[in-house]
Structure 1
Amino acid sequence: MISATEQYFMRHIINPSSGLYDFSGINWPILISMTVCWILTALGILKGAKIMGKISYVSVLLPYFIVIVLFIRGITLPGASDGLYYYLGKPDYSKLFVTKTWIEALIQLCFSLSVGNGGLISLASYSPKNNNVFRDALIVIIGDTLMSLIGGAAVFSTLGFLAQQRGVAVPDVVKSGLSLAFVVYPEAITQMPLPWLWSFLFFFMLFLLGASTEIVLVDGLCACIYDQSRKARNNKWKVVIAWCLVFYVCGFVFSTRAGMYWFEMFDEYAAGFSSVCAVVAELVVVMFVYGFRNVREDIKQMFGKSKSCLSKAIGPNSWYFTINWMIVSPLLAAAAKTVFMLQKQHASYPRISEGYSDEKKAFQQELPDKEPWDEGPEKEQNSA
């Protein structure tokens, strides 16, 4: 027995095949959605910085409003206190002394802030020359942190409500990734008054967050290309359309019935760890090749000398950031152990998976037990 939301999502939306290489045709709803998103991305970039600024006001600020609305609705539901207590009331401080905690935090920060992908640098290039980028960086970090905390409270308060409706404990309904966004949370929404309203707000928020991220990342790549020469800059629309078409074609694999497996593989490899690798490369080049002394002088030239004890300690040209950029962040990133995703078909899987966390074991269970070429008449005859 599975819930109605899970049945609808898996059988009508995803409709997965038997494995990674069993494409089995096109998933038309996914392909149409992807087509619309890439058209909007190309149009958003072609309209330039002014329209992107206006788009950002909507795509960035509106999700904050929606999250606050969902948070207020969530905490007013029966059972919300149980979810919030599980979310904030049972901290395990021993995790602070586990290296994996800081590694996962670094990966999540790179993913959440889009650090290492060039998007923030591309947007910052549109700012005036004397713009206070240190202040802007603090605003982005504080806003992202608040968004995460309030969004987490909105989700867990709703999960507390769902746990009470099912008559189970909160941990029994807590999921992550696609299951949370497209199965568990929507199921809780269907049991609220005016479910269509909360569903619309929730999925519209997800769409805005995804669309804004896609526009920024693609614009960062295109900017690197048409800023190399006047000819490319004068033909900006050709560069943008060409790269959008390239990425659109690459995305075809996600619109097949095997797209779910390819998405999970890309999510495991690229969502956070690729950003961590990019950040390490940037830090090594800037701090050791260009030189940390030159970096400090550049920051001092931009912001001037520190005028107070606080700015000397944690200001833009303090040694706090220099030490972090030179030592702390690269070492944490180098200690990351999520480079490879072990498949269940590997002979070493039983031995290595013994050390996996419960969450990672659950994720691995979603992967297929065998590939399509492991089945067929010859295999069946051999088995017989």
Structure 2
Amino acid sequence: MSVHVSLLQVEELMNPTTWLDAGAQVFYAFGIAWGGLISFSSYNPVHNNCVQDSVILSVVTGLTSVYAATVTYSIIGFRATEKYDTCINDQSNEIFIIASSLQGDMTPAGLSVSTQHHNILIYSHQATAKYGVEGTGLAFIVFTEAITKMPGSPAWSVLFFIMLLCLGLSTLFGNTEGVIVPLKDLNLFPKKWPHEILTVSCWILTQDPLFLFFRRIYWVTLFDNFAGSVPLLTIGLFEMIAVVYIYGIDRFNEDIKFMVGRKPSIFWQITWRFISPLIVLVILVFYLVAQAQKQLNYLVWDINSVSLQPPS
């Protein structure tokens, strides 16, 4: 079984969705292409050292992501191990009954029955262990199960959900700023309107009707799977093209020199011109080509369609 799992993990690297999710996660973690960073930076003074701020933000966010991934995968591994042990203990009697029913029949047909049943147990456990580790399930299923096993679980539960609340509000503030600030700069809102009122109104009008009242988890899953991956990387790609090839990298370098007193190094020149656009473009093309070769289908949000059994 260990060999099979290892091969499965290597094959996962050939899945374009894996690379798409990885790229989207980078954009999520660093707040790229959401508009929030640009809106917040508009409040800085003209000669703010934006290069230093970018490096600090990248290093801190990268280290935070590594630390968070270590904690997350440790919890997922603990949960999978516990599920596996529970699965073996709960079904040991059934295995014994099936083995006894063979009554010494070691023919290929008898062995086939035993092997087939053993594989079903393994794959069913793998599906069960994987269930709930994506999207909202990671926070409300996996982590909550882990917290219940910790000493002083009520205190950890309160701290964990306070952390989730603060994380959600901070993300919401940043995303909302990316919408409100450009609209105010275009004078679409009167300047005398309080900024706080505009922010709350934007939350109520754009997110509450979908995510609070009408099939809540369905819309969250829909946006998480489709609105936060391909569109996000596409926006980031066109932002790089607009700055480097339309506005002009030379003009952009002069703007940075005006702000910080020196031009960016050759490392940034190569990254902005070639490396970053090429990486994002390869991920998008790889994903779109793979998706175009698949049969178009749509899974209706029906609880009866969700199954933990492996596909036949």
What is the TM-score of this pair, normalised by structure 1?
A: 0.56
Q: Contact 1:114/1:120 (CA < 8 Å) preserved in 2? A: yes
Secondary structure in 1 matching 2:62: helix
Q: Contact 2:75/2:146 (CA < 8 Å) preserved in 1? A: yes
Q: What corresponds to 1:173 in structure 2? A: 129
Give the counterpart of 1:105 among 8, 11, 22.
22
Q: What corresponds to 2:257 in structure 1? A: 300
Where do 1:27-42 residues align within 5 Å?
none
Secondary structure in 1 matching 2:45: coil
Distance apart, 1:214 and its partner CA: 0.3
Distance apart, 1:196 and its partner CA: 0.9
Bigger relative contact order (CA 8 A; separation at least 6): 2
Where do 1:280-359 residues align within 5 Å?
280-305=237-262, 312-314=265-267, 316=268, 318-325=269-276, 327-329=277-279, 331-332=281-282, 334-335=284-285, 337=287, 351=295
Q: What corresponds to 1:243 in structure 2? A: 202
2-side partners of 1:251 and 1:189: how far apart? 29
Q: What corresponds to 1:211 in structure 2? A: 169
The structure number with the bigger radius of gyration is 2
Cα distance change of structure 1 residues 183 and 341 upon mapping to structure 2, 3 Å threshold: farther
Q: Contact 2:75/2:143 (CA < 8 Å) preserved in 1? A: yes
Q: What corresponds to 2:152 in structure 1? A: 194
Q: Contact 2:39/2:177 (CA < 8 Å) preserved in 1? A: yes
The AA in structure 2 aligned to 1:135 is: Q
Q: How many residues align?
A: 258
Distance apart, 1:128 and its partner CA: 2.3
Q: What corresponds to 1:232 in structure 2? A: 190
Secondary structure in 2 matching 1:127: coil
Q: What corresponds to 1:267 in structure 2? A: 224
Distance apart, 1:95 and its partner CA: 7.0
Cα distance change of structure 1 residues 275 and 127 upon mapping to structure 2, 3 Å threshold: same
2-side partners of 1:186 and 1:125: how far apart? 39
1-side partners of 2:25 and 2:249: how far apart? 26
1-side partners of 2:25 and 2:284: how far apart? 15
Where do 1:67-82 residues align within 5 Å?
none
Q: Contact 2:24/2:233 (CA < 8 Å) preserved in 1? A: yes
Structure 2 residue runs without a partner (length 5+): 1-5, 87-121, 306-312
Distance apart, 1:209 and its partner CA: 1.1
The AA in structure 2 aligned to 1:284 is: I
Secondary structure in 2 matching 1:335: helix
Structure 1 residue runs without a partner (length 5+): 1-88, 343-347, 354-363, 372-384
Q: Contact 2:47/2:260 (CA < 8 Å) preserved in 1? A: no
2-side partners of 1:153 and 1:216: how far apart? 26
User: CA RMSD, aligned part only?
Assistant: 3.9
2-side partners of 1:339 and 1:253: how far apart? 31
Deviation per residue, 1:103-126 (Å, 9 max, x gap): 432222112222111100111122
Distance apart, 1:262 and its partner CA: 1.7
Distance apart, 1:336 and its partner CA: 5.7
Q: What corresponds to 2:104 in structure 1? A: none
Distance apart, 1:283 and its partner CA: 2.1
Where do 1:128-207 residues align within 5 Å?
128-166=45-83, 167=85, 173-174=129-130, 175-207=133-165
Q: Contact 2:147/2:153 (CA < 8 Å) preserved in 1? A: yes
Deviation per residue, 1:34-67 (Å, 9 max, x gap): xxxxxxxxxxxxxxxxxxxxxxxxxxxxxxxxxx
The AA in structure 1 aligned to 2:36 is: G
Q: Contact 2:13/2:19 (CA < 8 Å) preserved in 1? A: yes
Q: What corresponds to 2:103 in structure 1? A: none
2-side partners of 1:92 and 1:370: how far apart? 29
Secondary structure in 1 matching 2:265: helix
2-side partners of 1:370 and 1:90: how far apart? 31
Q: Contact 1:106/1:276 (CA < 8 Å) preserved in 2? A: yes
Cα distance change of structure 1 residues 338 and 181 upon mapping to structure 2, 3 Å threshold: farther
